Amino acid sequence: MAVVVVESPAKAKTINKYLGSDYTVLASFGHVRDLPPKDGSVDPDDDFAMKWEVASDSKKHIKAISDALASDDELILATDPDREGEAISWHLEQALASKLKSKKVSRVTFNAITKAAITEAMQHPRQVDKPLVEAYLARRALDYLVGFNLSPVLWRKLPGARSAGRVQSVCLRLIVEREMEIEAFRAREYWTVTAVLSTPRGQEYTARLTVLGGKKLDKFDLSTATDAEMAVQAVTSRDLTVTSVEAKPASRNPYPPFMTSTLQQEASRKFGMGAKACMQAAQRLYEAGYITYMRTDGIDMAPEAVMAARAEIERRFGEKYVPKSPRMYKNKAKNAQEAHECIRPTDMSLDPGKIRVADDQQRLYDLIWKRTLASQMEAARLERTNVDIGSRDAQVELRATGQVVTFDGFLKIYDQGRDDDDDDDGARLPQIMQGEPAEKKSVTPDQHFTQPPPRYTEATLVKRMEELGIGRPSTYASILTTIVDRGYVKKDKNRLIPEDTGRLVTVFLSNYFRRYVEYDFTADLEEQLDDISAGSRDYKDVLARFWRDFSAAIGETSELRISEVLDKIDEVLAPHLYPPRADGTDPRICPVCHQGRLHLKTARSGGAFIGCGNYPECRYTRPISVPADGEAAALDGTVLGHDEGLEVTLRIGRFGPYVQKGEPTEDQPKPPRASLPKGWRPEAMDLEKALQLLSLPREIGPHPEDGAPVEAGIGRFGPFVKHNSTYANLPEVDEVFTIGMNRAIEVLAQKLARGPGRGAAAKALRSLGEHPDGGVVEVMPGRYGPYVKWGKVNATLTKDMDPETVTLEEALPLITAKAGKGGKKAPARKAKATEKKAPAKKPAAKKAATKKKAASEG
């Protein structure tokens, strides 16, 4: 009997159904080995030797596979069909080397978890692909060398920075540079003139002015309201006639089927789904056998899948929706590190409404199914109409555009979302005849301003990375997750905005490691990795060339002082940090003491801010992301009034504007302060508002049920009402100061009805009684199903156990197994010193035994 190893239990379960009892299918639970996160795991001085370590969680999975091989003579590695899958198979082969000396080892790949695909794969075994593994080794070594050599430089030279990565830093640069473009953008005014016209039959349509004074209008020709009014007068003072009507047929071809990047982009556009969430949902669908492999750079579709799609289109929509010949899509990517077939359903006839999966998976499957069928459907046929309306003297001309779909084709099932609103060709026009008069109903000038480039969404950033050749399908999601988790970027309404630290890191790297954050350099390195996976380049040569230059660049920064780094960043970011003031004064002069010069500084806790060089005499500070535009800076220290004999002032601090009552004294080193809530402008502050903020939290009154106080306040997550440990959000800040008891009870009740939040403890469903070692055993509701709880031990109920009828005797074995597995302690109880020491020795002894065994096996 052969042992088949895949990555996940879900995949193992599905495959086991198709292979039957002749095979033992086990899961490796992902990678089983990795480079230890410490210096020396990749040694450039020893021909880039890599020291791998089996993860502690993986040891039990390796043991399970090893035990199965004791009675079986064959190991089949059936991990995913891409570089990462090949790497997992290689790691398994290496980790199990001592057990495989007399065993047959083979590698099989399949693009879909279906009976046909798996049966076909089993008939074509091969060995682990060495070039693909070498591409993985090169990537891991490069990422390690950059991370473990560049990150310490950041820590020493730029306090507050957390890490740098080979691709993540380039991705961060894209986001930071886009933000700097937005900040440097200056809106330009322009006007358009639109007329509502009517045919002799009374049907209205809209036209836009395109010619004025006999000259075709450019975008900025009407730059002021006066220009626009003159244009309106020119139109209204003339009779208009339809000079031409031109109708042209057009067609729209369907989009190709999904690959990883386009799936992530469309899921973001249509569902607001992040790259990581998209890939997790796609992974579940793949493991369940519903779609093909989801990490791919290919848009090719297997011939049998194309024919199945065409048959399903004809069955559902009729013969006219099936093109005469199958549509063939050619892939632009040269990448050889990933799988190559598109992402598609494994069964074209499986309607999205018939699969039983979680909501996010259902939506994603529906998207993939529609896109796949649409890619093989007939083109949509349109009729686009342009109507020109002009004056007899040819001084004025307007144009009306319209579009009508004459045959919907692929649009019957699917249309791609858009990243940003595009101008369309208008809707259907009424019947308009050449030579007929056009009666003016209204002529309107419209003011417009040019818009800055939009911030990146995950979808548009992945698209841009793909265009530049940065990253690969298997890395997009992890790159985006990393820069957000590191605190370099935040997401706001699905848009990516760089944090202050992200700006500083980008400027630092762009000045001292410019080559390594250049788009062309990173893309070229990706192509070299592609060459390695294709077997046309030696991976150690690539590593040697990279390390030679990179280590030299690291060495050049060894003498850099933090003050030099800050001066350089201060200089580069000066237009952002110190924009010109309206009064023309020097933007770097401190607005409080008017003597010191403003400069970029770092805090002990990390991060950066702008501070006065006259410290400690002047303690003026502000955040780097809030420009000192004269107005905001001038408001710092404004006296709003007096309360109880103390000045109430408005301050502009490092973390934004706030109000303060009094000054620091020995008795009260921290006077009362309150930050301005979101939406409150510093220039609109007065004494009344300041005192309202300083009085928070505000007691509304005793709760009618238990007499405990009900309070309203403003926290880090916004305005709230509170009763005991229950917090409920309020929609508006102003409501904090006006909310009464009836409304507060209503909001709190709504919160309780929604169930416990992140900070609230779930209520037990049942108590099963005392554990023999002390402590109550309870049945609890859980996100992934009911479980039993004893102290810190949580054990999931098996599927055949009913939470309403489960007994203490049935629960105890589950708790014992879970406690032994996780090494968790029982609830505290009084015990002798000897009883306390005994358990502490066992894990140490076990660990030593494990090391000894591993050494003997190796």
* Secondary structure percentages of the chain, helix, strand, coil, to 5: 40, 25, 35
- Which two structure tokens, joined as six digits, stand for 648? 């109430």
Query: What is the helix (H) or strand (E) element at residue 247, kind and residue range?
Result: strand 240-252
CA angle, residues 299, 305, 311, in degrees to nearest 5? 125
CA distance 614 to 598: 9
In this structure, which amino acid lies at residue 658? Y
Please give the helix or strand (H or E) that residue 471 lies within, else none: none
Q: Which two tokens stand for residue 333?
A: 């990517």
Residues in contact with 785: Cβ distance below 8 Å, sequence separation at least 6, in sequence order: 796, 797
Please say if 488 is a catalytic residue: no
* CA 257 to chain centroid: 22
Catalytic residue among 286, 290, 293, 512: 293
On whether the CB atoms of residues 697 and 672 are closer than 8 A, the answer is: no
Output the CA–CA distances (angstroms, integers) from residue 459 to 451, 484, 614, 776, in the order listed.
20, 15, 46, 50
Helices (H), 164-302: 168-184, 225-236, 260-271, 275-287
* H/E stretch holding 201: none
Can you tell me whether residue 96 is helix, strand or coil? Answer: coil
Among candidate residues 523, 458, 459, the one with its CA nearest the CA of residue 484: 458
Q: What is the DSSP string of 628-692?
A: --SHHHHHTTEEEEEETTEEEEEEEETTEEEEEES---SS-SS--EEEPPTT--GGG--HHHHHH
- The DSSP code for 767 is E
Task: Give the whole-angstrom CA distance, residue 230 versus residue 799.
Answer: 78
CB atoms within 10 A of CB 659: 24
Round to whole Å and give the CA distance between 2 and 4: 6
Angle at 341 between CA 338 and CA 344, to 5 degrees: 125
Catalytic residues: 293
